[in-house]
Structure 1
Amino acid sequence: MVRFDPGRICLDLLATGAYEREQLDSTAQLGQWLLRAGLVPRGTPLTGLGRDWPVRFIELRCCIGQLIHAELGGPADGAPAALDRVNALAAAPPPGVRAIRGADGGLVRALSRAPECGALLAAVARDAVDLLTDPEARARLRQCEGDNCRLLYLDTSRGRRRRWCSSEACGNRERVARHRRRVAAP
């Protein structure tokens, strides 16, 4: 699974659908994403992960994508229904958390009970609601300017001039292409 840190959990979920190959097509891949995104603390058993979970997360991803693209000036087709769905999911209680002593004696985060799909969906949906209703955060929302890159991220750079999801990936490709154009120019 490709890993990219866009600055918000809901944008991280969107990133799972921005590649040629589906990143959440199995319960194992969804479980990995839940751990990497920090929705489930390390060491949490994911034995209750159901076969319908990836489909439900992909549905939420589609709804969030429709809303964010509409906010960025894209087509608003489906945005009202997507907003209703995100709001409905956000209304559910998120996972309960607690602090426990880790192996080293320090406090670590743990879930109060086994993770439930609805609670995890609620956490992501609430993050999307927070992003879309916060004018300052929404103003920092960007789409990567890299060729054929669909990743979205929050621009937290000093001058708010970040152009790419990753300077190492899309930024480097753009710099190489610019260099080739200069060298090829008469």
Structure 2
Amino acid sequence: MVRFDSGRICLDLVATGARESEQLGRVEELSRWLLAAGLVPRDTPLAGIDDDWLARFLELRRCVSQLIHAELGGPADAAPAALDRVNALAAAAPPGVRAVRGADGGLVRTLSRAPECGALLAVVARDAVDLLTDPEARSRLRQCEGDSCRLLYLDTSRGRRRRWCSSEACGNRERVARHRRRLAAL
């Protein structure tokens, strides 16, 4: 699984469904994403994860996506059910964390108890609430201008002129297409 780093965990979740192929189609893929996104510390066993977790994360992804797209140009009152659902999920307590000594003697982060689906959903939902209610962060919200790209990200560039999710991927495709158009016009 290729993980897109959008600048926010809630946008990273939305990105799992914004590509050509579904990145969270199976429980194993959700487990890998939870670890890669840092929602659970590395080496945390995810024994309780099942199809219910997957369905709940996919529901949250759909709700956050609806809210973000409404913010990017939809009607102000779009997706009221999605907003209610994100708020309900954000109300749960996030997982407890603690510092313990690792094998090398340094401090490492671990969870206070086995990860619970509702607690992990709360982390992502709270991030969405924070993003959507922070005018500064919301002003940096962008959708990639690539022809077939739907990825969302926070524009943290100096001049806030970032146009693509990735200069190497979508940006390069755009530059190549522009070059071919110029050659064809000659």
**TM-score scaled by length of structure 1:** 0.97
Counterpart CA distance in 2 for 1:180 and 1:9 is 37
Counterpart CA distance in 2 for 1:185 and 1:20 is 31
Kept in 1, the 8 Å contact 2:144–2:150? The answer is yes
- CA shift, 1:76, in A, is 6.1
User: Cα RMSD over matched residues?
Assistant: 1.1
Counterpart CA distance in 1 for 2:18 and 2:75 is 18
Q: Which letter does structure 2 place at the counterpart of 1:106? A: G
Kept in 1, the 8 Å contact 2:39–2:120? The answer is yes
Once the two structures are superposed, residues 35-91 of structure 1 have per-residue CA deviations (whole angstroms, 9 ceiling, x without a partner) of 011001001001111221111101000000111111111256851110000000000
Q: Any residues of structure 2 matched to 1:107-126 within 5 Å, and which?
A: 107-126=107-126
Counterpart CA distance in 2 for 1:59 and 1:32 is 18
Q: Which ranges of structure 1 fall in alignment gaps of 5 or more residues? A: none
Partner of 2:8: 8
Kept in 1, the 8 Å contact 2:4–2:15? The answer is yes
Partner of 2:100: 100
Q: 1:77 to 1:137 in 2, by over 3 A?
A: closer
Partner of 2:85: 85
Runs (4+) of structure 1 moved beyond 3 Å?
75-78
Identical aligned residues as a percent: 83
Equivalent pairs, count: 186
Range with greater deviation from structure 2 (20-29 or 157-166): 20-29
Q: Any residues of structure 2 matched to 1:1-150 within 5 Å, and which?
A: 1-74=1-74, 79-150=79-150
Q: Which ranges of structure 2 fall in alignment gaps of 5 or more residues? A: none
